[in-house]
Structure 1
Amino acid sequence: MSETTEALRDAEPRARIVATAERLFREIGFQKTTVADIARELRMSPANVYRFFGSKAEIHVAVAGHLMSEVEAAAQQIAFGPGSASERLRALVIGNEKMNAERYLADRKLHDMVEAALDEHWPAIDAHIDRIDGLIESIIAAGMVTGKFAKGDPGLAARLVHTACIRFCHPRLMVEYADRPEPTSAQMIEFCLAALRAGVAV
């Protein structure tokens, strides 16, 4: 059997394990959920779960990766979708805020997993940030080409915008600033758009 065929064969059970783990993390918490719990829900043995994931920690990372991939997919659709660069950048930041709030703020048990990911510096977090930076960069670069934004370094501009808007997409900061209504994400993105049009710092 080729590696490609084997990977395709394993994809479905891996996805079921991740989906089941995510549901249990929401219901009883990621720390309390055991591999035996996941296996029981799937009517398989723990040993069978370990065929696809070497440890419980690998399942944690897979669940986090799945949640972040959904945010990235939505952001990619916005980044390469219709509308002006300003409209797409605005939609990406506000959409990112909404999706992260739905995933990590409304559900405190799932938020605990995010806290652990941040505290333990999971590489998946940095990879997610890099991918969002890249999508923001693509929008800004397009805006520079069309003259909507001043010419400059789109990579630097993307990191500046992402940093300026970090409190609206970073789960920990979203919690810490929940009682501070301003600036809103809409206000911050308008500030960033004004800077991009003026070519400030890029």
Structure 2
Amino acid sequence: MDQFRTALLENEHSGQAVNQPERDTRQIIVDTAERFFRDIGYQKTTVADIAKSLRMSPANVYRFFDSKKAINEAVLERYKREQEEAIIAIADQDRPAADRLLEILITSFRLNAARFAGHARMQEMVCAAMEESWDAILAHIERFDAVLRRVVADGTARGEFRAIEPAHATGCIRTAMIRFMHPLLISQCECIPGPSAEEMIAFILSSLEARPERS
């Protein structure tokens, strides 16, 4: 593992971080930390590693982030922001609510699967965040729920979905999709028999669909 750290440090010394002084220093630190977390893992990465790769002192890194935990939160914030911006853009479209909900759920699954499935070191970073930064994780869940709730409410108002309390429906949807959304469960549940993400989404949409009243 020390060989990986040495190689990464050497690569960072020759990279763009020290050659682009116009870039925001906080962003440079986050970029570098993300590469370390991905290549050698969150637990094995030290603030000294990040500082050395940028030819900075650890004290200088601490001017921008008060701890490694804060750096990890910034890395995850980037991921969460990417997902949130994507699903908000979908929710804002002038399309049937069912189409938007389907795309929101499949987009969220694919983004998380691409980033975390089969990447143990990235999952380690998430585990650390869940232990050390639960408030930040909870805030992301609440923002995700707010987008779902808006789409469900719109679908109900348009008569696409059956009459249902949007907050209740949102909680049910998130719970049904947990194995396809949670960065750790995406990998851990892969060998457990069950529906695919697409099949689960189809089931959710079917359960929401408005049906003619029986005479």
Q: Do the aligned partners of 2:30 and 2:74 also contact (CA within 8 Å) in 1?
A: yes
Q: What TM-score, normalized to structure 1?
A: 0.86
Match of 1:155 among 157, 167, 171: 167
Deviation at 1:158, TM superposition (A): 1.0
Q: Do the aligned partners of 2:160 and 2:210 also contact (CA within 8 Å) in 1?
A: no
Structural RMSD (CA): 1.8
Q: Do the aligned partners of 2:159 and 2:210 also contact (CA within 8 Å) in 1?
A: no
SS at match of 2:75: helix
* Equivalent position of 1:180 in the other structure: 192
Deviation at 1:194, TM superposition (A): 1.6
* Equivalent position of 1:133 in the other structure: 145
* Equivalent position of 2:4 in the other structure: none
Mapped pair 1:65 → 2:77: yes
1:1-202 alignment runs, 5 A limit: 12-120=24-132, 122-180=134-192, 182-198=194-210
Cα 1:181–1:70 change in 2 (3 A) is farther
Give ranges in structure 2 of 5+ residues lacking alignment: 1-22
Q: How many residues align?
A: 189
The answer to which structure has the higher helix fraction is: 1
Distance 1:95 1:169 in 2: 10
- Which of 1 and 2 has greater Rg? 2
Give ranges in structure 1 of 5+ residues lacking alignment: 1-10
SS at match of 2:169: helix
Q: Do the aligned partners of 1:18 and 1:59 also contact (CA within 8 Å) in 2?
A: yes
Distance 1:95 1:106 in 2: 18
Distance 2:32 2:81 in 1: 17
